[in-house]
Amino acid sequence: MAVSTTTTLGVGAQAARFPLASLLALAMAGFVTILTEALPAGLLPQISAGLEISEALAGQLVTLYALGSLVAAIPLTAATQGMRRRPLLLAAIAGFVVANTVTTFSGNYVLTMVARFLAGVSAGLLWALVAGYAARMVPEHQKGRAIAVAMVGTPLALSLGVPAGTFLGNLVGWRACFGIMSGLALVLMAWVRVQVPDFAGQAAGKRLSLGHVFTLAGVRPVLFVVFAFVLAHNILYTYIAPFLTAAGMADRTDVVLLVFGLACLMGIWITGTLVDLHLRALTIASTVLFALAALVLGAAGDAPVAVYAAVAAWGVAFGGVPTLFQTAIAKSAGDAADVAQSMLVTAWNMAIAGGGLVGGVLLDRFGVAAFSPALLVPLAATLVVLRAARRHGFPAVRG
């Protein structure tokens, strides 16, 4: 998941009215993307039984999705810079229609994994489009507001979509959930075609070198922090269902995910209010809060009250980090923010894939008790890099 910050004005910027309907279509695209990515986390037991595989193997549905985004984000973004934006956006959404339809009907694990990889490829392309697309619809003074509206689908997917999908999966089955996702994507394609304006691609002379952007001061620390923090998050989030089963809370997975999602909304609100002045402090606070939540889950993971409190703290910590990381890399890269954003997409999805793999190994070999200490390793590394990035990446003054 990630965004770009293209500043080129399109014809839509001339409109006097704020293009809310068009921006909400982009928000819906983000909703479909995040929900397709995260839905298996709440349905691992059902998917495991349905495909006759272990829960660790079922968790790799998240891993393959992330790998698809990982391998696609940079090359697809580079290869399609000259293409018109709306056909490209429609192609990305169509990928979700195909992938979720195959997942709905497939009884073969390998075929299902191929479909998840395709969904991840579509996500990698879509996340490289959405925020830049939103910015081109409005004049300069409305860009931040437009991007905020376009990104609202992400917290809604986490706070409402995933727990609702988990609840629905328990009622009608996990396959029906993916079928519903295909239907939503089809409706979205029609919405985009009717409501979202088209824009030209980027001129060849404005395309920037990946190598040059990677060496800019601050970019590499931000990418490392993204990878380490999101790795820790996904070790736990991907395997939250077996963790809760071990805690005797298997029947409360949807409620726990709802608590997490609502806490994410709180984290997003706090971050949106303070990010311009306190980028560094907020990033450090989010990392420390997540580490404390991990310690509580490790020490009192069998106590429901402690689990709910820790999950809420984790949600507050995680909710704001996409905004924090996006802001940090945009400030570090300056005019090269679009290229840097494709790198952020790659780092983010490497972490998702790594979380699925590491969490699966930990679950199979050591059980859920290994999760808490495992989370503390990348979170400690995050704090070390944040400490060193006081001048570039996460500056101490006016983040």
Question: In what helix (H) or strand (E) does residue 211 lie, and over which residues does it extend?
Answer: helix 210-214
Of 179, 207, 235, the domain-final residue: 207
CA 168 to CA 115: how far, in whole Å? 22
Range of the domain at 4: 1-207
Domain match, 364 and 338 both: yes
Same domain, 249 and 199: no
Q: Are residues 218 and 317 in the same domain?
A: yes
Distance between CA atoms of 351 and 209, rounded to whole angstroms? 24
Residues 181 and 245 in one domain: no
Answer with the one of 186, 207, 228 that is the final residue of a domain. Answer: 207
Angstrom CA distances, 90 to 106, 125, 267, 315, 393, stand at 24, 11, 31, 32, 34
Tell me, yes or no, whether 55 and 11 share the same domain.
yes
Q: How many CB atoms lie within 10 A of CB 199?
A: 21
Same domain, 78 and 155: yes
Instruction: Give the C-alpha distances (Å, rounded to integers) separating 366 from 17, 89, 114, 361.
Output: 57, 43, 29, 8
- The domain boundary residue, chosen from 207, 241, 271: 207
All residues at 6 or more sequence positions from 38 whose CB lies less than 8 Å from its CB, including other chains:
62, 157, 158, 161, 162, 237
Q: What is the pLDDT of residue 175?
A: 93
The reply to whether 197 and 231 lie within a common domain is: no
Count of other CB atoms within 10 angstroms of residue 299: 12
Q: What is the mean pLDDT of each run of 10 residues along the chain (399 residues)?
A: 41 60 92 88 87 88 86 82 88 96 94 95 86 74 65 76 81 91 96 92 67 86 96 90 86 85 85 79 96 93 92 92 80 71 83 87 88 93 94 75
Nearest to 226 by CA among 396, 116, 381: 381
Q: Are residues 254 and 328 in the same domain?
A: yes
Give the C-alpha distances (Å, rounded to integers) separating 176 from 115, 180, 375: 16, 6, 33
What's the CA gap between 310 and 297, in Å, rounded?
6
**Maximum pairwise Cα distance, the chain:** 60
Statement to judge: residues 227 and 258 lie in one domain: yes
Say whether both 336 and 293 belong to one domain. Answer: yes
User: What is the reported pTM?
Assistant: 0.74
What is the count of structural domains for the chain? 2
DSSP 80: T
Are residue 141 and residue 260 in the same domain, yes or no?
Answer: no
First-last CA distance in the chain? 22
399 in the same domain as 261: yes
Q: How far is CA 233 from CA 227, 341, 372, in A?
A: 10, 20, 11
pLDDT at 13: 40
Check which CATH number belongs to the domain holding 156 and give it. 1.20.1250.20
| pLDDT given at position 357 | 87
Stated as kind and residue range, the H or E segment containing 288 is helix 253-300
